[in-house]
Amino acid sequence: MKTIQFTIDENLLAQVDNAAASRGETRSAFIRNALQLALRRMTVQQMEQRHAQGYAEIPVVSDEIDVWGPEQVWGEA
């Protein structure tokens, strides 16, 4: 672990402290978890953008997916 120092608005700090206390975490643990979550969300967003860009550049043609139509029939319940 590495100790860092940063500036934070007092109101936001109070919210972080309250949230951390309600979860039984330390301030540091809460902030670490929040940063990890933000980084995971960024990664997912980037992957979704690449996925959308790929389909925009090379759109799906119906022949690619028509073959799977019969597989979607679940039968009677």
pLDDT digits (tens, 9 = 90+) for 32-42: 999 999 999 99
Say if residues 16 and 30 touch (Cβ distance below 8 Å): yes
Would the pLDDT of 77 be above 70? Answer: no
Please report the pLDDT score of residue 10 as a whole number.
Answer: 98
For 17, residues 6+ apart whose C-beta sits below 8 A from its C-beta are 27
Please report the pLDDT score of residue 73 as a whole number.
Answer: 79
Measured from the Cβ of residue 25, the count of other Cβ atoms closer than 10 Å reads 14
List, in sequence order, the alpha helices (H) in the chain.
10-23, 27-57, 62-66
Is the alpha carbon torsion for 60, 62, 68, 73 positive or negative?
A: positive
